[in-house]
Structure 1
Amino acid sequence: MHVVLIGARTEAVQALLDGGHRVTLLYEGGEHARVAALRDRLAHACAVDSYLVVESLWSALHQVGALAEGVDAVVSVQENGMVPAALLGRQLGARALDPELALRCRDKAVQKAAWRAAGVPTADWLLLPDAGAGPEPVSAAVARAGLTAPYVVKPTAGAATIGVALAPDGPALDALVTDLIADAPERRRLLVESWVAGPEWHADGLVRDGRPTALLLSRYRSPLIETKQGTPTATVALLPDQHPELYREVTALTDRALAALGHTDGVFHFELFGGPGEFTAGELAARPGGHFIGSLTRRVLGIDVWAAAVHLLLGEPVPAGPAGTEVVGFTDIPTVAGQPNRLTRAQVERIPGVVELEIKIQPGAPMPDMRANSGIRIGTALVAAPTEQDCLAALDQVVDTALKVNQPGEE
């Protein structure tokens, strides 16, 4: 098959090449370094302006000659490329996600409406088509819609907590919306939700013939919105044989959430809130989870979700290795805003339990403020340990080491 892949994810490219497929890779310019090692094995490769722009993707296929060969499938492993890939596949008559499914798994208002219609528990919400154009304050509109404070405000189809904020009450909500529009006038369409208290979890896995066939449940150490206060993203995977009742409950809710959206074959990343007996659906994406979630599923379930994303869209079997027995988790390595990074790779690798490490901000480079979005970090460290307690202790040591090394005045 000739497959157009949107997003330069090495595991997905390798899975296609191993299957004997011809691959045309479309990627945003910032990913060009990752493409360099793959380029000589690709049928075509082209940088695009944005994954969000169907015109850019389509014109790139014209420009590199990919359309002259015919395209059999279009698949995206990038969040922003999910709906454009589906639309492009429909235009080319190629195998791809159904565009309506892609939208339900991308747009939060459309998604919540589908869940509410199917009786899947989710937060109350109100869509503001133009948050600055109403005849009354936003706080009055949300109160009339039955929402209760605190409120979470977010774009309808964002990523990495960009543009997401929490307002404790109505006056704060009005001030927040005014500030958001001033900072980004192009994002006037906003979603307001009632905040759901409790821990945040994520379920990652595969769905086939409408049923979850593999699922890994993990619990964030803090809800992702707390990255807005500088808390690093961190999560620990729960071993299925140690939490059987919890897995049964979450699998049942995931089954209902997938069915309501019509996602029958592919991978998923499902975020939910609360706890046993009171889980609430947050968001569900028809693509692999980011950060080191792929490493979690590989180490615990023996499944590479990035490869699975392309295998399942093409109707191919998904290879699986042996299940793991260690508890694994990862943490982002926090920045100290305005300071030069002094943390080295070697300092993190010396911490017992660290088995994978990505460094994004090199020693000597300035560190931005983590409160801007959940993607800002020195890097990410994945740890493996015999127990959950040992895993949590190792994650704490990574964070504590980074903060100590980078404290102003420390050398």
Structure 2
Amino acid sequence: MAHRHVLLIGWRPDAVEALHRLGAEVTCVVAAHELPAVGALLDDAHTVVAGDPYATEPTLAALAREGLSADRFDVVTSQFEYSLVNAAVVGGARSRTSPEQALLLRDKALQKRRIRAAGLPVADSALVTRPAALHGFALSRGVLKPLDLSAGRGVRTWADDAGRALLAETLADSPTPGPWLAESWVDGTELHLDGVVRAGRVRFVSVGRYLQNPLAVHTGGPRGSLMEHPDHDPSLYDRAGAFADRAMAALDHHDGVFHLEVYEQPDGTWVFGECGGRIAGGSIDVMVRLQHGVDLHEEWARAVLGLPPTPARPAAVTSFGHVFLAAPGPRCALPGLPEIAARPGVRHTAAQPPPPAPAARLFPATAVVEGKDPRHTSELVHDLADWFDDRCVPASHPADARPLREETP
């Protein structure tokens, strides 16, 4: 591969490392608070500080202050959801994604419109620009979502007409500004399909089944998923590949990675949920690598650099799952990562950054667990979640609270 210089917008250390491994030179646009983490991978000459790396004006201004422009780079890209559109706008012809294509991977209303036009099952939905408009969405059970947030942030649900009316009355005071997307409720268990698309065709897909649907995790119970083993149900993987192919075509996503969520209804129908042109959060990437031998970060970097994807590999004979380890609040004494890593079946563990806004339930760590089969893996995942919950001791005084520790004392 010829030496290539990549402008990466938004700090993603895994992306930087993957590009470096493939021989690329990387300059990254970051926020000031991210500088302490940047130093281990990039020097000052390859670091551009912007007031907001997810907005176009601050990014262009930061580049100009350094005497740089998109034309100085071979590729302009992002691996972070909130800066996909910015990278496409700033990069122009240097970006492998147009702003229109990036928007389809970000805006839920545009996304659902394309999916519906392609004939894939999807929830009924309506754009809500004024809170009172929710009164006209005549469905007794539904979901209200911000158009461009992820990981369930700002999502609200209603279970009856009275709940929908109350939501409409309180929406004007919501900390998440509109417009919003109102959707009909979809029954069924939720799956996540994570994969690689190249030249418009899905080249790899994995299938994970959430321990419980993400919309339910804030009410309690474990948050995570179990990998469906391709050798145990090949037809499931055939179906996942075909569904993902149609979704990628509808969303005009030709080269890169994706994280696609679908609902499996009681009658077997798959209903499209959401899709991001990114690598999933938590430790799903590690679970995929251990189960399938596919490094999604490298596959993303290969797509960015125009390199061919890596050949398919046989799946591990064992089964993997991942779980977010929950704490009831910030004032807790938590186990250390080595303690978590020593638990039965744990193959990987990592600290999680705090949420951008206060939350009743925190997830300070995530882990990947290996079992001999899906049932064994499920037992290990639930045992780990229960153990961590028991070890999270609420502190009666702020001085007694201990955050997650990299090392045990």
Both structures adopt the same fold (TM-score exceeding 0.5): yes
Given the superposition, is the C-alpha separation of residues 51 and 194 from structure 1 closer, same or farther in structure 2, using an over 3 Å criterion?
A: farther
For the residue of structure 1 that corresponds to 2:54, the secondary structure is coil
1:200-279 matches, cutoff 5 A: 200-275=190-265, 277-279=268-270
Q: Deviations over 1:275-322 (max 9, x none)?
A: 573010001111111111211221122221122222113211234584
Deviates more, 1:64-73 or 1:379-388: 64-73
User: Mean alpha-carbon deviation: is it higher for 276-285 or for 100-109?
Assistant: 276-285
- In the aligned structure 1, how far is the partner of 2:319 from the partner of 2:190? 18
Q: Residue 196 of structure 2: SS of its match in structure 1?
A: strand
Q: 1:94 to 1:409 in 2, by over 3 A?
A: closer
How many residue pairs match? The answer is: 390
Does 2:341 match 1:349?
Answer: yes
- In 2, the alpha carbon distance for the partners of 1:249 and 1:319 equals 22
- Is 1:62 the counterpart of 2:52? The answer is no
Which 5+ residue runs of structure 2 have no aligned equivalent? 401-409
Q: 1:104 to 1:68 in 2, by over 3 A?
A: closer
Bigger drift between 63-72 and 159-168 goes to 63-72
Percent identity for Structure 1 against Structure 2: 31
Deviates more, 1:274-283 or 1:347-356: 274-283
Q: Does 1:403 align with 2:398?
A: no
Which residue number corresponds to residue 173 of structure 1? Answer: 164
Matched letter for residue 138 of structure 1: L
Which runs of structure 2 are paired with 1:106-121 in the superposition (5 Å)? 106-121=106-121
Letter in 1 for 2:252: G
In the alignment, structure 1 residue 298 sits paired with structure 2 residue 282: no
Would the aligned equivalents of 2:326 and 2:388 in 1 still touch at CA under 8 Å?
Answer: yes
The one-letter amino acid paired with 2:170 is D
Aligned equivalents of 2:90, 2:382: Cα separation in 1: 44
CA distance in 2, matches of 1:286, 1:383: 26
Structure 1 segments unaligned to the other structure (5+ residues):
none
- The farther-off stretch of 390-399 and 1-10 is 1-10
User: Of 301, 307, 324, which aligns to 2:298?
Assistant: 307
Q: Residues of 2 paired with 1:212 and 1:100: CA distance?
A: 21
- Match 2:155 to one of 145, 164, 168: 164
Q: Aligned partners of 1:244 and 1:304: how far apart in 2? A: 21
User: 1:385 & 1:224 partners in 2: Cα distance?
Assistant: 23
Match of 1:390 in 2: 376
Quickly say closer, same or farther: Cα 1:325–1:183, change in 2 above 3 A.
same
Of the structure 1 ranges 295-304 and 8-17, higher mean CA displacement relative to structure 2 is found in 8-17
1:361 is displaced (CA, Å) by 7.8
Aligned partners of 1:360, 1:341: CA distance in 2, in Å? 16
Q: Distance in 2 between matches of 1:361 and 1:104?
A: 27
- TM-score, normalised to structure 2, is 0.88
- Separation of aligned partners in 2, 1:27 and 1:179: 36
Aligned equivalents of 2:150, 2:34: Cα separation in 1: 17
1:138 and 2:134 correspond: yes
Q: 1:390 to 1:47 in 2, by over 3 A?
A: farther
Distance 1:88 1:368, change over 3 A: closer
Aligned-pair CA distance for 1:337: 2.5
In structure 2, C-alpha distance between the alignment counterparts of 1:79 and 1:234, rounded to whole Å: 20
What is the aligned partner in structure 1 of residue 173 from structure 2? Answer: 182
Letter in 1 for 2:342: R
Partner of 2:405: none
* Amino acid aligned to 1:257: A
Mapped to 2, the partners of 1:289 and 1:341 lie a distance apart of: 28
Cα distance between partner residues in 1 of 2:291 and 2:17: 21
Give, in whole Å, the separation in 2 of the partners of 1:316 and 1:361.
32
Deviating more after overlay: 168-177 vs 391-400: 168-177
Q: What amino acid is aligned across from residue 128 of structure 1 in structure 2? A: V
Equivalent position SS for 1:240: coil
* Distance in 2, Cα, partners of 1:358 & 1:338: 17
Equivalent of residue 79 in structure 2, options 74, 77, 80: 77
Displacement of 1:65 in angstroms is: 3.0
Q: CA deviation at 1:68?
A: 8.5
